[in-house]
Structure 1
Amino acid sequence: MALKATIYKVDLQIADMDRNYYAEHALTLARHPSETDERMMARVLMYALHAQEGIAYTKGLFEADEPEIWVKDLTGQIKLWIDIGQPDETRLRKACGRAEQVISVCYSSSCDLWWKQIENKLTRLRNLTVLQLPTASSQALAALAERTLRLQCMVQDGEVWLSTDNTRVPVVLKPLKVTG
């Protein structure tokens, strides 16, 4: 018998002063049986940092041809494609061909090794940004994970904070490759 996804409910309040974006989102996340708290919270973080009209979680791990998060315009074109983890070069190239902008976020201790192996193969991709969520930050975010979660995300002057009623976690994303 196949294991089923675990459902998480997140009440996400975003105050992004850098983008002048203020909103509340009621998120329902299906956590794949193989997914860790670190990965799930990286998905929540990236949703918060890129929230806008048209943003949506996809089937993610359940569907190989979709990112974790995307933003589509009214015509169905993919404006933003966000992958979490360590996708291979082929997946990133394909994503860059399908979307206006692609962001890949690596969150594990093996990020440096993964990046060294594929960095030179991705230099031509002008619409690709690769970020690293340091292990300390990803583990601190994982500690916030609960089946029902009230989470606030504040962004000001490039600084990012995720917090619950009891805990506040500073988040720093290290750019490995920036669009352009």
Structure 2
Amino acid sequence: MALKSTIYKADLQIADMDRHYYGDHSLTIARHPSETDERMMVRVAAFGLFASERLEFCKGLSDTDEPDLWQKDLTGQIETWIEIGQPDERRIAKASGRADRVVVIAYAGRTSDIWWQGVKGKVERLQNVTVWSLEEGVGEALGRLAERTMRLQMTVQDGEASLGSATVDPVMIRKGVFKGAAV
């Protein structure tokens, strides 16, 4: 018998002064049985960084044809495709052909550098792809925010972001840019 996803609920308040986006989102997050708290919370942080009324969680690990998050326009065209982790270059290239913008957020510290060296040659040619790597320890710190029911606050100002709750100190979301823009 296959294991089922665990459902998490999060109320996420976002104050993004850089984009002038302010919103409250009630999120339902399905955590795949093979997913860690760290990866799930990186997905939540990515939601906060790119938040809009049409951004949504996808099947991600459960479906190879969908990213972790995407934003579609009113016609169904994929505007933003967001991958979490270290996808192979074929998956990134496929996403690049299907979406206006692709963002990859690696979070595994030094192993992200090794992964980037392996995919860099092919990914650098893709014009609509941005690749970030969270600094060492950021993913782990985000994982400590995970609770079955969460009330989270994200603040973004001057290119810096933090995600926190009433019970855990805010985590500064520091990232390096392998390819593309910092924001």
Shared fold per TM-score greater than 0.5: yes
Cα distance between partner residues in 2 of 1:135 and 1:61: 23
Q: 2:60 matched to which residue of 1?
A: 60
Aligned pairs, number: 179
Gaps of 5+ in 1: none
Cα distance between partner residues in 2 of 1:38 and 1:140: 8
Paired amino acid for 1:126: Q
Cα distance between partner residues in 1 of 2:87 and 2:74: 28
Q: Which residues in structure 2 correspond to 1:9-20 (within 5 Å)?
A: 9-20=9-20
- Offset, 1:135: 2.8
Cα distance between partner residues in 2 of 1:61 and 1:121: 23
Q: 1:86 matched to which residue of 2?
A: 86
Paired amino acid for 1:123: E
- Offset, 1:5: 0.5
**How many percent of aligned residue pairs carry the same amino acid?**
54
Paired amino acid for 2:11: D
Q: Please state whether the residue corresponding to 2:81 is helix, strand or coil.
A: strand
Q: Please state whether the residue corresponding to 1:13 is helix, strand or coil.
A: strand
Cα distance between partner residues in 2 of 1:125 and 1:68: 20
Paired amino acid for 1:100: D
Cα distance between partner residues in 2 of 1:4 and 1:14: 30
Q: 1:114 matched to which residue of 2?
A: 115
Q: 2:125 matched to which residue of 1?
A: 124
Q: 1:149 matched to which residue of 2?
A: 150
Gaps of 5+ in 2: none
Q: 1:138 matched to which residue of 2?
A: 139
Q: Please state whether the residue corresponding to 1:135 is helix, strand or coil.
A: coil
- Offset, 1:60: 1.1
For normalisation by structure 1, the TM-score amounts to 0.97
Q: 1:4 matched to which residue of 2?
A: 4
Paired amino acid for 2:60: G
- Offset, 1:53: 2.6
Cα distance between partner residues in 2 of 1:9 and 1:122: 34
Q: Please state whether the residue corresponding to 1:76 is helix, strand or coil.
A: coil
Cα distance between partner residues in 2 of 1:27 and 1:106: 22
- Offset, 1:168: 1.4
| 1:105 is aligned to 2:113 | no
Stretches (4+) displaced over 2 A: none
Q: Please state whether the residue corresponding to 1:15 is helix, strand or coil.
A: strand
Cα distance between partner residues in 1 of 2:171 and 2:113: 23
